[in-house]
Amino acid sequence: MQEEIENRPNPDALLEVVEKEEGEKRRGSLKIFLGMCPGVGKTYAMLQAAQVELNNGKDVVIGFVETHGRRETEQLTKGIPIIPRKIVHYRDILLEEMDLDAILKRKPQLVIVDELAHTNAPGMRHLKRYQDVLEILDAGIDVFTTLNVQHIESRTDMISQITGAPIYEKVPDSIVDMAEIELVDLSPEDLLKRLAEGKVYIPEQARAAALNFFKEGNLRALREIVLRLAAEKAGKDVQEYMQIMHILGPWKISHRLLVAISASPSSETLIRWTRRHAESLKCPWYVVYVETSKVLSEEDQQRLSKNIELAKELGAEIITTTDEDIVRGIFRIAKQRNITQVVLGKPRGKGLIEWFKSRSLLHKLVRESGQIDIHIVGEDESVAAKTPKTFPIIPQSSFSQYGITSLVILAITLLCLWLNQWIGSRSIGMIYLLGIVIIALFVGRGPVIVAAFLSAIIWDYVFLSPRFVIGIQGIENGFVVFTYFVVALVLGQFIARLRAQEKAERRREARISALYMLSQELSQAAGLDEIVIKVIEQLTHVFQAEVAVFLVNPYNNKLSGLPHWASTLKVTEKEAGVANWAFEHGKAAGRFTENLPLSKAYYVPLTTHKGCVGVLGINIPGIQSLSFDQKSLIQAFANQIALVIDRQRLAELAEHARVVAESERLSRTLLNSISHEMRTPLAVITAAVESLSKEDRWMSPTDQRILLEEIKSATFRLNRLVRNLLDMARIESGRFKLKREWTDIHDLINLALKETEKELAGRPLTVNIQQGIPLVRIDFSLMLEALNNLLLNAAIHTPAGSPVELNVSVKKNALVIQVADRGPGIDPEILSRIFEKFYRGTGAPPGGTGLGLSIVKGVVDAHGGKVQVQNRPEGGAVFSIILPLENVPETFPMPQKDETSKV
């Protein structure tokens, strides 16, 4: 049963793989044709694969392919439909880009997209082409693309150092991780030959390129990098397959080393040996620490932390697991990670007990290893001399526990001397056994052994016949004492072990609960300030400590010299310098470390895969050193905090980018709308004035009156535009103050109809006003402007001669003003956006700024009302202004008007 449990796959890793597969099912698949540099034939190989897919009946299109004028490459594009490129105007230059919207509208099965790392022209939806590809994949469309290894984010620094050329276009590693990789390889000699033949760049550039980037040494280094990258990607894919298929392995496709460490000084030797061996094999290596219920001393915890820090510095991936059986824990991790070689320290010590222990350990290692190779590494003599000597049988406990145990045995002996007159010596043995069980609930395993030994001697000497004689008389007494000692020892050790395991589980539960509470609090935080406040509250509660959080300034990517205002740790200029050192070096610094150890607090960098986003400072008063558990928990907190802060920063950047994009869109819309709206009336005014200024005596008074009427109409239109812009500016500036006054609704309706009389001319207009409508308290001029905009909207967006209705009524203690038309109605998809600023629906007539309905909404909202729009079943649209009614003072008479009037 235990073996079956151990052979189960890691649930977290399995869940991650399953989620990845589910995500891949919902989105399109990505295939990257990867090469070491330009000219190896990536585009050619991609188009060959596209032709195969086309011949297999797949719907394939070319979204963007750059052939560089190569005839053989252009031949492969024949027969594949090409999506026309989008022309972008930028600084008097015409740029061609991939038309993302056209691809999404066409929705093929496969799209060919060249140059994944390309930066799009300004004004495109996304800054980078890989972002376009992600949107295509999200639409369920497969993508073939090309990429050079120097553009992969994690490789750019290394390759830039090798080639001496800066790299500006980068693709995140996450894109490569989600893709299928097809390596397009070419030897450096063949590539240089192609370069000389002019098949990579034009001949004039070939010599300069060869002297710089295309050096043979550079190409060999790039080829090794891309081959290793492809091998790592294949190794990850194999590991995911083994997890999803419940294959424990290992599959010895490539080398993977795992070294088991402990609090022993000899672990330093193991770590360095494994690092050298992994370097010689050019393979990944891991460090595992198996946590048991044994409580480490302060000295052991410091050594363990030092060993783990050494492994991190040397580039190992650290893994911690929990198991009472160390060998079982090691091989469980080894099978999960597809480890091929495990490194362990040679059992040390002399004597019969150590010989049996080493024989047992080695035998178990060999028995459990299966297909995994085992390396037993001996320790240096200098290290062995530093290793503290401990008694091999009795586990270490405090002297007070041994003293308490002895006193309890003495008390039980006195009790048994009193009870001896009523019970026999055999029953007294049971009392001693009960005492050992109780002792085991409160002390360590060492004192339990001492208790079993002392109780057996005292029982035999004081209570067993013959009494007060050293030694066991008779076979029966010897068997009883021996059995008692074994039972007492086993039972006591078993209970002590269970208690130690319970304490260990409680420690782990406390760590998990603390992390859970932190993640829960952070998930509910809104904004960076609230995140930091929650972090400080949780750390203060868990560690009873003073906490400071330093954040990175997003504008210069430097650490702030002052902690966040919510910090409880008082930070001096010196402490701020320590925090800055931790930020710059990406290592823990300050107290309890070897980096600037005289500081007041312990500083941990908040690091993500994208870099450091801040530093966490924590000072726990009254302790001399941090335990391994505390350091692990603080590091786990730091990792969680860093991810949340990074996520919040990304959300803020995304929101800022959205606001900037929306602002640019609104600016373009405003400029286009206003320029058109202003040009038209100004042109009319200019032409009319020029005609009137001419001294032509033949112009009749009628013609002059017509020109003056045109000037008047154009001036009115221009005045309305300026008024709308000013009203919108007032609404958005927050300086929108109402001048409410009691108004007769008939006056508002009559004046609105008078001001829009010209626009509504030639339309059957019906006005229905319910009888007995009370006075309303409104800003007359603003509400008049809102009603005018609704009437003008009905006149502009409906066919000439179509009827318009204006209805006024009272419903549920609210005044309802409705403007209904018989036009084409409103597309249901844009009903929710109809009141947005500068929004103009598709098919709208030329002219207009898209501000009228926005002003209506702003005015009505300011009055505490709401505006609604819906399509009429019989055709057309109806806009409703709903205003709350107030109690009219008695000094104002109720207006008396006809129930219905028609115009």
On the question of a common fold for 12-244 and 543-640, the answer reads no
- Write down the architecture of domain 12-244 according to CATH: 3-Layer(aba) Sandwich (3.40)
Contact (Cβ atoms closer than 8 angstroms) between residue 618 and residue 626: no
Low-confidence ranges of the chain (pLDDT < 70): 1-26, 91, 199-212, 234-254, 348-361, 379-398, 470-474, 477, 659-681, 694-699, 717, 720-737, 837-851, 890-903
pLDDT at 621: 86
What are the φ and ψ backbone dihedral angles of 840, each rounded to 5 degrees? -130, 125
pLDDT at 361: 67
Cβ neighbors of 836 (< 8 A, separation 6 or more) are 850, 854
Domain boundaries, the chain: 12-244, 257-386, 399-502, 543-640, 737-902
Q: Are strands 546-553 and 877-884 parallel, antiparallel or unpaired?
A: unpaired
Contact (Cβ atoms closer than 8 angstroms) between residue 435 and residue 416: no
Q: Provide the sign of the torsion angle of the four alpha carbons 676, 677, 682, 684, taken in this order.
A: positive
Terminus-to-terminus CA distance in the chain, angstroms?
A: 91
**Which among 474, 437, 434, 477 has a CA at the least distance from the CA of 457?**
477
pLDDT at 297: 75
Contact (Cβ atoms closer than 8 angstroms) between residue 710 and residue 684: yes
Residue-wise pLDDT for 517-556, tens only, equals 877 877 777 788 888 888 888 888 888 889 999 998 877 8
Residue-wise pLDDT for 801-819, tens only, equals 889 999 999 988 889 999 9
pTM value is: 0.50
Strand runs (DSSP E) across 367-484, as ranges?
Answer: 373-377
DSSP for 133-202 reads: HHHHHHTT-EEEEEEEGGGBGGGHHHHHHHH-------B-HHHHHTSEEEE----HHHHHHHHHTTSSS-
Return the CATH superfamily for domain 737-902.
Answer: Histidine kinase-like ATPase, C-terminal domain (3.30.565.10)
Q: How many helices (DSSP H) and strands (DSSP E) are in the chain?
A: 27, 25
**Which among 769, 853, 833 has a CA at the least distance from the CA of 805?**
769
Strand order in the sheet with 877-884: 866-871, 877-884, 814-821, 804-810, 765-769, 900-902
Half-sphere exposure of 592 (CA within 13 A, CB side): 27
Burial of 791: CB neighbours in 10 Å, binned 0-12, 13-18, 19+? buried
pLDDT at 112: 94
What is 543-640's CATH number, 3.30.565.10, 3.30.450.40, 3.10.350.10, 3.40.630.30?
3.30.450.40
| Cα-based angle 643, 644, 650 (whole degrees, multiple of 5) | 90
pLDDT at 24: 53
Q: In Å, how far from its chain's centre is CA 861? A: 37
CA distances from 834 to 118, 176, 730, 838, 842 (A): 37, 42, 20, 10, 11
Cβ neighbors of 103 (< 8 A, separation 6 or more) are 61, 63, 83, 111, 136, 141
- Write down the architecture of domain 257-386 according to CATH: 3-Layer(aba) Sandwich (3.40)
pLDDT at 506: 76
Q: What is the CA radius of gyration of the chain?
A: 41
**Which among 144, 131, 23 has a CA at the least distance from the CA of 80?**
144
Per this entry, what is the length of the chain?
903
